[in-house]
Structure formats: structure tokens, C-alpha cells
Structure 1
Amino acid sequence: MKKNKKKNENNFSIGLNSVINDFTNKHGTLKKSSPGDIFEHFSNHTVVSNLREEELENLNAVSTNNAKGIDGIAIIINDRLIHDLSELDTLGKNEKLIVKIGFIQATTQKSFDENKFTGFVSAVINFLIKNKANPIEPFSTILEELLGKTYRGRLQEEITIDLYYLSAITNHSSYKNLIDSQKKAINNRSDLRSYKLNNISFWQNREIIKYYNKIQEYHKVKLVLDENTRVDEQKSNIEMSLLAAIKFPELKKLILTKNDNIKERLFVDNPRSRIPESKVNDDITETIRNKKDNSYFIYLNNGLTILCSKIIKHPTEDDTFSLTYPRIINGCQTTYVLYEQFKKNKKAKKLDNIKVFVKLIATEDNDLKEKIIFAANNQNAITKDLQSLNKFHKKIEEYFAGSIEKNKLKLYFERQRGQHYNIKNYAQKINIKNLAKVYISIFLREPHKMKSYTDKIIKKYQAKKIFYKDHDPEDYYYCGILYYWLNTFSTNMEIKLHSKTMDMILLLACHLFLEKKFKDTGGKIKYLSNKNSAKTFFKDAVEFINNKNYLRKRKALYSSLQTEELINDIKTSQSIIQ
């Protein structure tokens, strides 16, 4: 990526400047970056959000850390973005896998550079043939694992690849022959038989603006709701509430991606999550299969409860409503069983006449959301599964909120996805999983365990070693600050790790150096609350670990031996805090 030297000058069109400004407002940490750096992140965000039909929040998840020739890589498995080796553990054990990889290169050069374009294609080829001399982590390790014995047999088809070349300023029209020649360069290689090239796309000003504006559509869905009745009588904190029936063809619009995969993000507020095998599932399945009971499904099933930020009735179309940020908080099993039956025979019409009862509530009141979610699930024996609503998570949330009132660094703890959707700066938000990863890495000194089987370890440690009732919420706020600066400085390219997989071990190093200077968490927080101090400190910590050869070895960051060596190194090192 060629960077412009002056941060406030670019040659972008008015329209492109407008959407880029909208993007930087959402990612406030980018405002002081160069136009070139901003456009690189903007391009990754635009492409990946459209590939998945879900807005990308974590820009570092797809950034290649300035790798030569490629600015972004998105590995998507069954419509899920896999940006860390540990994410593979979230896939079902017997789940057939459809893998797609998107490669992105962005440029702000004034004229079309054919060599840069062909260099991008060459860099993609080198990545795919597993050039071990110049791996792009963590993506190279993820791909290697996918093609290994554990996952290769589960691939449903060849891995599909798409290349996206985004040019901010050019208005080049004679590129078709060049793209065709580069397609042949990929398709004719015998060492790329495991891959299927879908397309090479060349986006310029018009296409870039079009696809960025399209992202907002993915937060909304338009549904026909039969026999709907409003029940929100003069409740100031409930914008609209409905009781209705929805036919399965309409429900599909809500729950399925364009590739007919389930939208996992719909259920992040649902503490029951998916229960693969249960008597409840069997009963729902039997109701669907039984021709006699099929038409009575709406009477034999409890239905769904859906929380939204907004519900808007269409002004002219009967029984039609637009839902913004919908989340299914009850009825997860019903949804999954219907999906599984649909998946077995997508062309069959047996589900088309099935109606499901739905209760829809639109509110932006977080306390009310919590009560609704708890009430919707409290009737079932799942108390231990209500981790997103437990008392200690509430204490952490209150501490984060109190810190904002005390004019400390403004961070927001998200117990429920979309809880703080109105906060434009995504870096200021941290969810349960990421907070747990940081805590385990620094206080338990196990960053290597956060590189694989992360979800299993967090579940194992839950309420024992992490989020324990006697823990001090201040320690979790401190973890949030470390995570915030990691993302802020990485996104702004103010720090550059040798490998992106060094993120958690960097935070451990930061914690250990801070321990040498400050005995209490409050002292660490006060020091890190000053941006200039934090930036200098992070830069010095990055330099320290980048110079450790034992951390540069392939997969070194997955080993406790390297963690112990780093801990001992820091014990005997001089403080990097002035």
C-alpha cells in the first residue's frame, strides 16, 4: 500500500470522501492516520462486510499487518469469519465445510499500475502454495490446518478464492484483458488444484461507494408478519411490540445467509445457544414431519421472541415491517430444527406452510433488554448457561459505566451483542470472549492457550479462574484498556508486531512491565489513561518482544515454553517505563 505523506490531503472524489468520513467516524481511532492507511482499512471493511453480509467491526481481524502485496485476507467457513486458529474450534465436529478466501489489495495511486496489480496476484499465489519463507500469520497457519488431516476430509468442495483490487483515484477502463490473463495464470497452475478461482474484481470509485453503502442493508430485514397485533400501549421505553405469525419462507429471510447457512449472529443474545441433540429437538422434528400435526405447528410450538432496536411498519405494503438489529433471544432450538429440516431438502415445499408464532419487541433500553432476555429463558432449567447475564458480568458492566462517569478512558463492556451499537468507535467496545482472553493471558499468564481451543478453555475457566464472584472488576477494566490500546495502535499502524499472533503475548509483556513499576491496578490504569504514555510504552514493548528470536519460531506462540522464557526475560530486564 502506497501511503500519502500528508494526512489531510488526498485526491478522492467528493462521494468517496463522504463514505470514508462515515467509516472513520465509526472507527474513531483512525482519524489521525494517513489517507492511504485509512483507505486500506476502509477497503478491507467494505469487501469483507459484503462477502459475509455482516458489517466487519474488528479491522485487525483481516489486516495482513503490511504484508507485501496483500492488504487483507478473509477466511470464511460456512459464512463464519475465521481470523484466529482457535476459531476453527467453533466449527461442529461433523460439520461439512465450505471455505471461501477473499484477498484484498488497495491503492491510492493516481494512475493504474499494472505491475502492482500483477504483483497482487503473485502474492496471492505465493500465499496459496504455502510459501513458508514469508508466511502471513495467522492466515497461513489457518490454511495449513484446513488442508491437514483434521479438516481436509470435511471440505465439501474446493476452496473458493476471490481477489479484490480497489483503486481509489483511477478511472481505468481497459483492464478486462489483464484480468483474464491473471485468471489464466491462476487456473493453469497444477499446484493450485485445491482451489477454485471465483473471480478477480477491480473496484474503482463508483463500485467502492456502491458496496460501502450496501453494508447498512445487512442490519435490516423486511418481513411479512401475518395476523399481527400491536401490544406496546404507551410504554416510553418500547418503541413497538408485536404478536404475529410468520411463515417459514419469510422466516428464512431472517435466519439464513445468501448461501443458506444459519446466521449465527442472530443468537448471540440467546444464552441457550444451540443444543445439538435433545428431547425438545426430537419433539419439534416430529411435529414437522408428521403430516397430521404439521399444519398445527404454530399451536404446538412456543415460537420465537425477537429483540430489535427498531421496528418500522411499511407505509403502503400490508403486514410488512422492517426490523433493525434483530436478535432471536428465545426459540433457538425451534429455529435450528427448522433450518436442519430445510437443509436436508432445500427444494421440498413441506415447510412452506408452517407458521411460527413470534413476539417482537423494539427497545434501546439495555436494562429492559436484560429483563426480557432473562424472563424469556428463565422458565427453562438453564441457569448455568446464563453466563451473559450473571451477576459478576453485571458488576463489570457497571464498573465500565462508572469509569465513563469518572472521566476515565471511555470503554464499553458488551454482555450482549449490539448492546452498544450506537457507540461509533468500535475499538471502545469489548465483549465477554475478548475480555476473557486478555484476563487469561495476563493474570493467569497463559497467552499460548488463547491461540487454540479458546472457547473450550474459557468455558472451563468460567466462574472458577475468570469472572469469579470475588474478583475485582477493576482488573477487568484494566484488561479492557490494554485491549483498547492494542487495537487502536495496531489499526493506526503505530505499532507493528512481527506476527499478528503475538497480540496476547504482547499484552502479557505489557502487564509484566507495568507490574515492575506499579503495585496496584489503579496505578496501571492511571498510567495507561494517558495516550502519549501508552503509545510510547506499547512501542517499547513491541520492540522488546519483536527482538526475541524464540518468539519468531513457527507456532512458538502456541507453546508454554516460550511464555515461560518471556516471563523470565522480563524479570531480569530493565524497566521500559520511564
Structure 2
Amino acid sequence: MIKDTIVSGNLQKFQEEYEFAHLTEDVAFEHFVNYLTISRINSQAFDDVEYLEKVNIDNGQNLGIDGIAFLLNNTLVFTDENVQKFKKASEFSSNLSVNIVFTQAKATQGFELGEVLKFTEAVKDFLSDTPVWKGRKELDELRKLKDTILSYETLECVDKTSSPSCTLYFVTAGNPNTDENFDKMVKKQESEIQRALPVLKNVSIQLISKDILNKFYDENQNKIKKRVNFKNRVDLSENGEIKNVGKAFLGYISAKEYLKLITDDDDNFMRNLFYENVRDFKGEDNKVNQEIADTIKDRASKDKFVLFNNGVTIVAKFIDTNFQGGDVQIVNYQIVNGCQTSNVLYLNRQHIGKDDNIMIPLKLIECTDNDITSEITKATNNQNPVPEEAFIALEVFPKTLQAFFDNYSRKAPEKIYYERRSREYDYFSPKIPQSRIFHLHKLIRAVVSMFIEQPHSTHRFPGEIYKQTTSKIFGKEQKMFTKEQSHFPYYTSCYTWFAIEKLILNNDIDKKYKPFKFHLMLAFRLLATNEQMNNFENIGATEKYCSAILNKLWQSNVSLDLFKKACLAVDRAISKHRDKPYYSLNRISEFTETLKEEVRKIR
């Protein structure tokens, strides 16, 4: 039992938000630890709650490892197809980053050497070419994925200066370890793992105590407060003439001071600060990033960095300037532009040290208005090419869609939300459960499953689905999110997803159907109406069509009956594809076609 009040309270909040109240404390703590440690690499790693369940491979079975995660370019991957996508994108530049994360969570009061050794031995066995622990489907599939990621073909695409890396997190709800002999044994285990698998460039075993875990939680909730010297600044808001913006400053800050803003107390790079940045880090081999690094390293050009660099933009909830000497305290902030600069500065921090010659152009803005923050993000990220889907949330249709969700949900039995900007509902009290929040990536998968009839495509990356999915059903432009389209299909598909998750959570539908939830969404639509679907730009007909589906969805007895029929159709489709691996059926287009045939028979 967790005795620390803060850890226990944070865990309870997490369980409420992700609807894990039904789990035992030990299993919930495993999910909590997986969420916090992996979210430090990518704050949006778990944009689908189901990913938390995929990462957890223990579920109270005492295997020695609670979580295993593979991240390519900081993105969770679960299939060979995902890996191939990254390989193709990096085959000529060799800038792919690979992180392998293992977790073990103990709701105990301290560290026991025996438990840590059991964890490290389990990791060694997993990484071995001749594992002892065999026969569990989940582990066997993860080993195959590991072999693909660590294959010669993939490693040829990897940035070999830092990848692949392997991090083991052993987490307890107790006090930190103070035994030097314990630490020496941990270091020995790091060396043994690296010797056993030399391809790993970095191996790190992190012993996480309650204080560090609570710090991880605060960082995840964006409860960040940093004080730095920003004396070289001009006050743009001195006369209060910028509407809906508090303080606003333009100036430059020394690189050593800026590094304080992007690193934690252990000198780790704080990736969560960049979840509003539309570009991810492009790697050290990127031409522009190489030039930034060269400027930092070159003594003759260091002082010209401020002239060469476009700078950084930070948006904060609060900025306190009541300090002497030009200090400012920045609270709950996001770096909306400057991801490349920040990463290169961090990677080359040994060349910065106490050097005050490197100055960073900085725009610091205090703003709590989401729309203004979106405009700032868009305006400061338009100098270079950005993936098309990166700006979708800032366009007209998502704004009106968010209002539609808010207004139309008043008619529904339960409210769901469209999150146009990442984590914008974080500050609502009480916390909104994640199952009720739908962001862009979930929206894409929902619509493609239910209305484009491609539930087998949802394992692909949402940006890829968006770019490659065209259909006449969207209207004249044949793509999602054009302003002429009806909001109803987007809302209807999301509410159907929400309804399925709730039925599974309440055990009204067996959990075995969870891998087929996107197929159930399609089956429900086909069962709920015999009418022909019009294109999304036919506003009146689309509203009528979706309203008929929602009417049945909102009647609990009617919807449950239809979902049970949908489950029966899934069972029958599975029985006709016994020649294929069960775990891959939900990714096969032929399975979707069989499901549709079975729905027609049942209907």
C-alpha cells in the first residue's frame, strides 16, 4: 500500500482521469509509472488510453518487468509497419533515434536490491537472442519487434552518436536509495546489459523515489516554475495596448540562462515543454541544425549566434518580474517555436558552460487565451515547411467543430469534448476523464473507421492516415476538415468511440473486443441505419443521417443491443479468418470486408 500522501493523491487523480478506478492499486501504479516516465520523452505518447494497456506487459503477474516501450523519433511504435515507416524516412539521412524503455513499479517504501536485480535480469533475458522466458504471446511479439528495431537494416538509419538508447526505470513510492554499494551494483548491471548488447549506445538504470515521481507528475501537468536572468529585454506591453495579452517582452538571453528553462534539476531535457511546437526535432544531421551546432562550437562566431538565429518564442501562464537585476520567474510555460535551437543547444551544452557570449533571441509572452496562443504558434512557425496536418488545429473548421461539440453535447446523455489545442482542458476542475476528450489524432481514426470504412488503417500514424485518405464522401475537395463540411459525422464517430469504451469499462461488452473497437464503430453504423450516406457537404442530409445514429446511440438499451450484434459480427468474421494470426486481424482489409458481409446477414 502506498503510504506517501502526495504519491497516493496523484495516483488517485490519474486513475480518475484515465478511468482506472477499477484497477488494484498495484496495477494502477504500474500504469501511472509507465505514463509518467514515457510521457517525459513524448508528452502526447498516450493520446489513446489503449496505448497504456499495450505498454503494460505485467498486469500484476510479477514477471519482473511492468512496462516495455519502443520509441522511434520519440514516437511509440507497436508494429513492424510503424518501424518501416520511420526507416523509409531516415534511410538517406541516418537520423533515426531509438529509445527502448523498461519499467518496474513497486508501491513500496524503498528499494530492495533483490527486486532491482530481478528487474535487470528480466531485461537481460528479454534482450537476449536465447531468452529463457518464452511462451507469452505479448512478450514474444515484443521480442520480434525488438529484433526488427535492432536489425542491421534499421540500425543503418539510426543516428549512431546517441542511438539506440535503453533506459530502465525502477520506481518505488518510498524514499531514495542512500547505499553506495547499492549504487555500485546498479552501475554493474548497466555495464552488463551494454556488454550483452553492444549495439546499445547508452544504457541507464534510473532509481526513482517518491520525490522524483512527484516531480515527474508536476512536470507532466505543466506545473513548471523557473527563474532566469532576462535583463536584455524591451517591454512590449508597457502601455497595456495588446488586447488579451498580459506581459510581453522581446530581447535576448544568454545560452547558459536559457538552458535552465529547458532542463530539469538532473540536467535532463524537458521534452514536455515542446508539445505545442508544430515541429519535432529534426536531428543533429539536419543541415540547419548542423549550422547551429557549428556556430556554438566556433569561438570566432559564438558572439554572432544572436544574429544568425531566428530565436525562441515562449508563452507562459504567468510572468513575475518583481526581482532585481533583470530576473524573471516564468510559470507554466510552453516553447511554441524554437524546438531545433533548443535541442541543439542542449546537445552542445558542454561547449557553452559559463560562456556568456552566446545569446538567444527571445520573445516571452504571458497569455491565457488559447486562440491567441494558437495564432502565435502559427505565426512563429511559418518560416519553414511544416507537415500539412500540423496546422489543422489552428484553422477555421476545428474552431467551429469545438463549439459544435460543446453545444450539441447539451442534448446528449453525456458530454464529450473536442480538444483543438493540446491539453487545453488540463486546467478544468474537476478533471475531465480522458475517455471524453477527443483531439485531432483520435478524430482522424474515428472518422476513417466509421465513415470511410477503414478500421484496419487505424494502427498507422494519424498524420499518415490524414494525408493518404481521400474520399468523395468528404465532398468536392475529398479530404477531411474542410469548412464546407457538416460537423455531425465527426461528433457522431467520436461519441460512438466513447460509448464503446464505456460499455467495455462497465463490462457490458467483453474486454476481448477492445482490439476491434474501430470495427465495432463501423458495424454499429451499418446496423443503426439502412440509409445511404451522403457526402459531408450535404449538410441537411448528413445531419438527418447522423441524428438517426445518435438517437439509437443515446438509448442505452437500443445501443447495447446493436453493439452486441456488432460483437457477433466480429466473432463470425474472426471464425472465417482462422488461417491468419489473431493479433493482426484488426489490421487486415479483408477482415473488414468480411465483417461488413456478416453485418448485412445479421441486419
Give the shorter-chain TM-score range.
0.7 to 0.9
Contact 1:247 1:355 in 2 (8 A): yes
Which of 355, 359, 367 aligns to 2:371? It is 367
Contact 1:498 1:552 in 2 (8 A): no
SS in 1 for 2:351: coil
Does 2:32 align with 1:42?
yes
CA displacement at 1:391 relative to structure 2 = 2.4
Q: Where do 1:268-283 residues align within 5 Å?
A: 268-270=276-278
Does 2:395 align with 1:390?
yes
Which of 480, 484, 508 aligns to 2:494? It is 480
Contact 2:449 2:521 in 1 (8 A): no
- Structure 1 pair 78–312 and aligned structure 2 pair: CA distance change class (3 A): farther
- Structure 1 pair 282–166 and aligned structure 2 pair: CA distance change class (3 A): closer
Does 2:11 align with 1:20?
yes
Which of 546, 550, 564 aligns to 1:521? It is 546
Contact 2:489 2:546 in 1 (8 A): yes
CA displacement at 1:434 relative to structure 2 = 2.4
Distance in 2 between residues matched to 1:210 and 1:285, nearest whole Å:
31
Match of 1:3 in 2: none
Does 2:252 align with 1:245?
yes
Greater length-normalized contact order (CA 8 Å, ≥ 6 residues apart) = 1
SS in 1 for 2:248: strand
Q: Where do 1:172-571 residues align within 5 Å?
A: 187=192, 194=199, 198=203, 208-209=213-214, 212-213=217-218, 215=220, 219-232=224-237, 233-234=239-240, 237-254=244-261, 263=271, 266=274, 268-270=276-278, 295=303, 298=306, 303-313=311-321, 315=323, 318-329=326-337, 332=338, 336=340, 347=351, 353-374=357-378, 376=380, 386-406=391-411, 409-423=414-428, 424-425=431-432, 426-452=434-460, 454-461=462-469, 464-485=478-499, 502=515, 505-518=516-529, 520-529=545-554, 545=570, 548=574, 550=577, 552-553=581-582, 555-571=584-600
CA displacement at 1:134 relative to structure 2 = 1.8
Contact 2:255 2:360 in 1 (8 A): yes
Does 2:69 align with 1:74?
yes
Which of 129, 132, 146 aligns to 1:143? It is 146
SS in 2 for 1:250: helix
Give the RMSD, CA atoms, in angstroms: 5.3
Count of residues in Structure 1 that have an aligned counterpart in Structure 2: 557
Distance in 1 between residues matched to 2:314 and 2:222, nearest whole Å:
19
1:108-144 CA-partner distances (Å, limit 9, x unpaired): 5899999987776665455434857523497556424
Over the matched positions of the two proteins, sequence identity in percent amounts to: 20
1:32-89 CA-partner distances (Å, limit 9, x unpaired): 5443443232232233345668996655324346645343223234555445666644
1:518-552 CA-partner distances (Å, limit 9, x unpaired): 45322433444578987887688668647826364
Contact 1:103 1:162 in 2 (8 A): yes
SS in 1 for 2:138: coil
Q: In structure 1, what residue type is equivalent to 2:321?
A: K
- Structure 1 pair 259–80 and aligned structure 2 pair: CA distance change class (3 A): farther
Contact 2:315 2:365 in 1 (8 A): yes
SS in 1 for 2:479: coil
1:379-418 CA-partner distances (Å, limit 9, x unpaired): 9998977433222222322212223454653333233324
CA displacement at 1:436 relative to structure 2 = 1.0
Contact 2:105 2:170 in 1 (8 A): yes
Contact 1:78 1:98 in 2 (8 A): yes
Does 2:137 align with 1:134?
yes
Does 2:103 align with 1:104?
yes
Distance in 2 between residues matched to 1:71 and 1:267, nearest whole Å:
26
CA displacement at 1:516 relative to structure 2 = 0.8
Distance in 2 between residues matched to 1:283 and 1:299, nearest whole Å:
13
SS in 2 for 1:509: helix
Q: Where do 1:164-179 residues align within 5 Å?
A: 164-166=169-171
SS in 1 for 2:597: helix
Q: In structure 1, what residue type is equivalent to 2:521?
A: C
CA displacement at 1:227 relative to structure 2 = 1.9
Q: In structure 2, what residue type is equivalent to 1:511?
A: L
Distance in 2 between residues matched to 1:47 and 1:431, nearest whole Å:
22
- Structure 1 pair 358–194 and aligned structure 2 pair: CA distance change class (3 A): closer
Distance in 2 between residues matched to 1:184 and 1:383, nearest whole Å:
42
Distance in 1 between residues matched to 2:175 and 2:559, nearest whole Å:
39
- Structure 1 pair 160–288 and aligned structure 2 pair: CA distance change class (3 A): closer
Match of 1:6 in 2: none
Match of 2:473 in 1: none
Structure 1 unmatched ranges of 5 or more:
1-9
> Which deviates the most, 209-218 or 563-572?
209-218
Distance in 2 between residues matched to 1:440 and 1:492, nearest whole Å:
26
SS in 2 for 1:63: helix
CA displacement at 1:191 relative to structure 2 = 7.2
- Structure 1 pair 42–490 and aligned structure 2 pair: CA distance change class (3 A): farther
Contact 1:272 1:382 in 2 (8 A): no
- Structure 1 pair 246–488 and aligned structure 2 pair: CA distance change class (3 A): farther
- Structure 1 pair 362–452 and aligned structure 2 pair: CA distance change class (3 A): same
CA displacement at 1:476 relative to structure 2 = 0.8
Contact 2:36 2:216 in 1 (8 A): yes
Match of 1:153 in 2: 156
CA displacement at 1:146 relative to structure 2 = 0.9
Distance in 2 between residues matched to 1:253 and 1:343, nearest whole Å:
14
Distance in 1 between residues matched to 2:176 and 2:284, nearest whole Å:
52
Distance in 2 between residues matched to 1:199 and 1:286, nearest whole Å:
29
Contact 2:276 2:377 in 1 (8 A): no
Distance in 2 between residues matched to 1:522 and 1:393, nearest whole Å:
20
CA displacement at 1:448 relative to structure 2 = 2.9
SS in 1 for 2:9: helix
> Which deviates the most, 277-286 or 221-230?
277-286
SS in 2 for 1:154: coil
- Structure 1 pair 217–133 and aligned structure 2 pair: CA distance change class (3 A): closer
Contact 2:566 2:599 in 1 (8 A): no
Distance in 2 between residues matched to 1:301 and 1:86, nearest whole Å:
37
